[in-house]
Amino acid sequence: MKKRYLILALVIFSIASVFIGVSNISPLDLFSLTEEELQVLFVSRVPRLVSIVIAGMSMSIIGLIMQQLTRNKFVSPTTAGTMDSARFGILIALMVFSNATPIQKMLVAFIFALLGTFIFMKILDRIKFKDVIFIPLVGLMFGNIVSSITTFFAYKNDMIQNMASWLHGDFSLIIKGQYEMIYISIPLLIIAYLFANKFTLAGMGEEFAINLGLNYKRVVNIGLVIVAMVSSVVILTVGTIPFLGLIIPNIVTIYHGDNLKKNLPHTALLGAVFVLACDIFGRVIIYPYEISIGLTVGVIGSAIFIYLLLRGKAHGL
């Protein structure tokens, strides 16, 4: 899995992504586009591509960071309650401020996602039985508890339908003017890259990190803030893309090890390529209709997840 092949795949899929859709635009028309075709391109196709690439990269990277910080290969925003807590936050934002702006929603979602992830980390500290598979199961249970509370309040307030849009990742609704918040992820990912060495070190355990003079608690907290922030941004713009933060980092670390400085670029690229491929697949398979990304990644992702679990058991990961 060389970096240049991933870049090549990313370019090819990106081009394909821009030219696939109901209104037919051919790459050959690129220099003689009509007004309408230009509109389609810049209002819908390009924003869609940008959000796919950024969401794919960000979710994979925060998954990797979470796995490193918890020292468990099966922890990710989907399996640690982060996503469920963010959704709870959005609901609260909608209930408290009747006309919540996207930024308000994002901030409240962020606070909840952060709190939820902290609670999960606290539970993790207290678990004596550190089985690799037991921990994500605890996370899933915790997430489900949060999510049932969300459903309860949503039901009481007639907002169940509203909720569905953050439950399922969907790129088809992304148009210019509604997705720009996802750009907030980019500076966060850059910070993550700058902290890569520190995250790797933190992943070797608290005592190991302290021996080398690392401020362990601060680094873990910075990591969790990045995770919570990116999760909230992605969930509000795209929705939930399940398992992405789990399968991509796992595949990359099998080949490139756990040194974040080395495997972050691969993780970002593979994440983007994977989501792009899934999105194109979902758009083509029942053309001219499409399947949402949450479903495609969910189906393919959960199959890979089960495979990784079984493989992990065999390899004692």
Partner 1 sequence: MIEVKQLSKKYGSKYVVDDVSLTIEKGTITSFIGPNGAGKSTLLSMISRLLSKDAGEIYIDNQIVGQVKSNELAKKISILKQANHIDIRLTVRDLVSFGRFPYSQGKLTKEDWIYVDEAIEYMELEDLQDRYLDQLSGGQKQRAFIAMVLAQNTEYILLDEPLNNLDMKHSVQIMKVLRKLVDEKGKTIVIVIHDINFASFYSDHIVALKDGKIVKKGPTAEIIDSCVLKCVYDMDICIQDINENKMCVYFS
**Residues forming the site for partner 1 (CB under 8 A):** 71, 196-198, 200-201, 203-205, 207-208, 210-215, 253, 257-259, 261-262, 317
In angstroms, what is the minimal distance from the CB of 261 to partner 1? 8
Phi–psi pair at 226, nearest 5 degrees:
-60, -45
What is the rounded CA–CA span in Å between residue 239 and residue 244? Answer: 12
- Sign of the torsion formed by the C-alpha atoms of 87, 93, 94 and 96: positive
E strand or H helix that includes residue 275: helix 260-284
> 51 vs 67, which CB is nearer to partner 1?
67
From the CB of 208, what's the least distance to partner 1, in Å? 7
Residue 215 beta carbon to partner 1: minimum distance, rounded to whole angstroms: 7
Closest distance between partner 1 and the C-beta of residue 72, in Å?
A: 11
Q: Which is nearer to partner 1, 72 or 185 (CB)?
A: 72
Evaluate whether 233 touches 33 at the Cβ level (below 8 Å). no
Quickly count: other Cβ atoms within 10 Å of residue 275's Cβ.
29
CB-based burial label for 177 (10 Å; 0-12, 13-18, 19+): exposed
CA-to-CA dists, residue 22 to 40, 47, 172, 293, angstroms: 10, 16, 12, 17
Q: How far is the CB of 191 from partner 1 (least distance, A)?
A: 14
- What's the token pair of residue 88? 């709870």
Tell me whether residue 252 or residue 291 sits nearer to partner 1 (CB atom).
Answer: 252
Cβ distance to partner 1 smaller for residue 145 or 212: 212
| 23: three-class secondary structure by DSSP | coil
Q: CA-to-CA distance for 120 and 227, rounded, in angstroms?
A: 13
- Give 153 or 193: the residue with its C-beta nearer to partner 1: 193
Helices (H) and strands (E) in the chain, counts: 14, 0
Structure tokens at 57: 């990269």
How far apart, in whole angstroms, are the C-alpha atoms of residue 27 and residue 11?
14
Q: 215 is written with which tokens?
A: 């401020």
Nearer to partner 1, 65 or 277 (CB): 65
Whose Cβ is closer to partner 1: residue 170's or residue 258's? 258
CB 212, min distance to partner 1, A: 4
Q: How far is the CB of 69 from partner 1 (least distance, A)?
A: 12
Cis peptide before 187 (omega within 30 of 0): no
Give the list of residues 6+ apart from residue 272 with CB closer than 8 angstroms, or none: 10, 52, 53, 56, 57, 60
**Structural tokens at position 226:** 């990045």
Smallest distance, Å, CB 136 to partner 1? 17
Of 187 and 257, which CB lies nearer to partner 1 in the complex structure?
Answer: 257
In the complex, what is the shortest distance from the CB of residue 303 to partner 1, in angstroms, rounded to a whole number? Answer: 24
By beta-carbon proximity to partner 1, the closer residue of 106 and 201 is 201
**What's the rounded Cα separation, in Å, for the pair 199 and 188?**
14
